[in-house]
Amino acid sequence: MRIVFAGTPANAAATLEAMHKAGLEVVAVLTRPDAPIGRKRILTPSAVATKAQELSIPVIKASNLDRTALNAIAAHEPDLGVIVAYGALLKAEALALPTYGWINVHYSLLPEWRGASPVQSSIWSGAKETGITIFQLDEGMDTGPIHLQIPTLIEPGENSGTLLRRLTSLGISGLLELVPRIAAGLAQPAPQDPHLLATLATAKKISRDLAKIDWAKTSSQIEHQILAMNPEPMAWTSIGGVAIRICNARALGPTAFEQLAETDSMIGSVTLSDKRVLVHCGHNSLLQLLELQPAGKNPMNATDWSRGLTESVIFDGN
């Protein structure tokens, strides 16, 4: 079966490599154009473009499928298209190019968390379970009929980077199971529930503004936000207008707050207790900082950071 693979970031590159190693015939790769990276804004190929070059697979670079890109895909006479985080919706003409259409690996249990940030959104919402869905692509946003799903628990303290790696492995397993079924004509995807689709939240694109911490939220809500934003774009706050990233933290139970009842409980204030760095959050809750990154420095243990404090600290609010 001749496959066109579409994807852009590192997890998509890992999927492409696994498909190649499994002997699937990937005849071309579609990925986003080179993008400026780093402080010097150097134009850099996507992770998928780099991996395709290593594997000697032809690469088509396009941010949207114009006539040139469509013709390039058609020239490879694909039987199936596989998408993993390509970054653009496909219209009807593109969807019709492969004989068996396109299948998409999505990192949530659809119809939950359709959209751009399913992994971050699952963690931020405090969900206990997520998984992967492989579905038949249509013109909607993650609305096509489902081929298969593989659930998994979200581990306590798990951040988006760790969870994405696990989901990538599950997605690869699902693809290697599904593609032979499609080739044999045995795949029968089931429609998503249209009523349920209308009631669920969409996983919005993550921005730096969304990553800013509001200390008036509960410590549990803030913990989920911090885990969801790691590794990108990282949750952050500021001290006197100077930004500081919060890489890892844990919400403490109500007993911890009661034990510190006589300390400064202003929201956003930092308290040192038994070698722990604690922040007072909304609704009389406490967050223990574990790792943070001051501006211009490497990530560090929160206790090490606290040793450099010469006065009481209050994080800026939203």
The domains of the chain, with CATH numbers, are 2-203 (3.40.50.170), 219-307 (3.10.25.10)
The separation between CA 58 and the C-alpha centre of its own chain, rounded to angstroms, equals 27
User: Are the C-beta atoms of 275 and 281 separated by less than 8 Å?
Assistant: no
Phi first, then psi: give them for residue 199, nearest 5 degrees: -105, -15
Q: What's the CA gap between 145 and 137, in Å, rounded?
A: 8
Q: What's the CA gap between 154 and 123, in Å, rounded?
A: 8
User: Are the C-beta atoms of 30 and 137 separated by less than 8 Å?
Assistant: no
What does the pLDDT look like over 2-58, one tens digit per residue?
A: 999 999 999 999 999 999 999 999 999 999 999 988 778 889 999 999 999 999 999
Q: What's the CA gap between 96 and 307, in Å, rounded?
A: 61
Q: What's the CA gap between 255 and 280, in Å, rounded?
A: 13
Helix, strand, or coil (residue 287): strand
Name the token pair of 174.
């699902």
For the stretch 238-252, what's the b/e string if a residue is b when 16 or more beta carbons lie within 10 angstroms of its beta carbon? ebeeeebbbbbbbbb
What does the pLDDT look like over 253-268, one tens digit per residue?
A: 876 666 665 555 789 9
Cross-strand partners of 149:
133
User: Are the C-beta atoms of 238 and 315 separated by less than 8 Å?
Assistant: yes
Tell me the pTM.
Answer: 0.93
In the Cβ-directed half-sphere of 206, how many Cα atoms lie within 13 Å? 21
DSSP string, 242-275: EEEEEEEEEEEPHHHHHHTTTS---TTBEEEETT
User: Are the C-beta atoms of 226 and 213 separated by less than 8 Å?
Assistant: yes
What does the pLDDT look like over 42-98, one tens digit per residue?
A: 899 999 999 999 999 999 999 989 999 999 999 999 999 999 999 888 999 999 999
pLDDT at 257: 61
